Amino acid sequence: MTTAELLPLLFGESAAGITVTDQILTGYATVAGQDVAVLGTADGTYINNAAALRLSAHVIEVVKTRPGLPIVMLVDSAGQEPNRTAEMLGLAGYFGHLLASLELARNQSHRLLTLATGKAIGGAFICYGMFADAIYALDSASVGLMPVEAMAAVTKIPVATLEELSKTLPALEFGAEPFALLGGVKEVWPTDASLPAKLAAALASATTEDDRARLGKERGGRTLAFDVQQRVLADSAR
């Protein structure tokens, strides 16, 4: 589904308030009658310094002009732009600043909600989408560190081995459902007319607690993270 088709499905006529420039989304819309700010990426674009800066500029505008307005973040990006001048100019710093701007919004009572709509891969997901209070994904979304073929190419482990292991280790599988088993997304949603109601309910129930490790344990996809975190907290308190 293209961005031009998806935005009206999510926001109805209010999707007209969202501007898409060079695959970067910024603007305002309504979800089931509730005003929200919208930002994100489209069409699997790569995020570079300028794109990150446009997203953080929108966050700053929302914080300054629309106190407490929830922020909906849409993710369809294949990753950070692998480019020498982008790195030379400090791409990590631009991503860190985008995250800091979202932290400012969170601290000023803006709820942050992410919907992975297309590609939500690696650094592109870390640099804003995975920082939300609550994270959801469409069932058609490509969510994860990297597809299994790419993982095989880098680790030199055969694709067949990784695919066999992924049957019991969802961390090695690529997609929205296995990512949910790890606690990385709360729910996976079908792409249909129920989306606005689901978004509105998700906004109403979002809290600032990071419960991903607990979810990963409960769902059996990431069995050690929660317990190890708790052990460190307990041992350090002695």
Partner 1 sequence: MSRVPYHELKARERLAAIVDPGSFAEILPPPARVMSPYLPKLGIPVAFDDGLAIGRATIDGKPIYLAAQTGQFVGGSVGEVHSAKLVGLLKAAARDRLPCVLLIESGGVRLHEGSSGEIGIAEAIRAVFACRAAGAPVIAVIGSDIGAYGGMGILSACCDFRVMTEHGRLGISGPIVIEKWMGKAAYDSADRALVWKTSGGKTRYLLGDANALVNDDTAAVRAGIARLLGPASPVTLAAIEARQAELAARLEQFAAVTSPEAIWQARGVTDPAAATLDDAETFVASLAPAAP
Does 136 contact partner 1 by CB under 8 A? Answer: no
For residue 39, what is the enclosing H or E element?
strand 34-41
Interacting positions 102-121 with partner 1 (CB under 8 A) = 103-104, 107
Cα→Cα distances 177→36, 138, 188, 198, Å: 27, 9, 7, 17
Interacting positions 85-104 with partner 1 (CB under 8 A) = 85, 87-97, 99-101, 103-104
# residues near partner 1 by CB under 8 A: 78
Distance of closest approach, residue 95 Cβ to partner 1, in angstroms: 5
Task: Answer yes or no: are the C-beta atoms of 141 and 191 closer than 8 Å.
Answer: no
- Both tokens of 163, joined, read 């695919």
Chain position carrying tokens 């109805």:
12
Q: Which of 235, 45, 207, 238 is nearest to 124 (CA)?
A: 45
Residue closer to partner 1 by CB (options 36, 182) is 182
Q: How many H-runs (helices) and E-runs (strands) does the chain carry?
A: 11, 9
Does 171 contact partner 1 by CB under 8 A? Answer: yes
DSSP 183: T
DSSP 12: G
Q: Which of 41, 6, 2 is nearest to 24 (CA)?
A: 41
Distance of closest approach, residue 194 Cβ to partner 1, in angstroms: 26
Does 200 contact partner 1 by CB under 8 A? Answer: no
Does 80 contact partner 1 by CB under 8 A? Answer: yes
Residue closer to partner 1 by CB (options 90, 190) is 90
The span from the CA of 116 to the CA of 164, in Å, is: 26
Does 134 contact partner 1 by CB under 8 A? Answer: no
Q: Which stretch binds partner 1 (CB under 8 A): 17-25, 49-57, 70-78, 189-197?
A: 49-57
Cα→Cα distances 184→34, 111, 129, 195, 212, Å: 26, 18, 11, 19, 6
Interacting positions 178-197 with partner 1 (CB under 8 A) = 178-179, 182-184
Residue closer to partner 1 by CB (options 117, 142) is 142
Does 207 contact partner 1 by CB under 8 A? Answer: no
The residue from 123, 138, 188, 198 that contacts partner 1 (CB under 8 A) is 123
The residue from 126, 163, 177, 206 that contacts partner 1 (CB under 8 A) is 126
Does 160 contact partner 1 by CB under 8 A? Answer: no
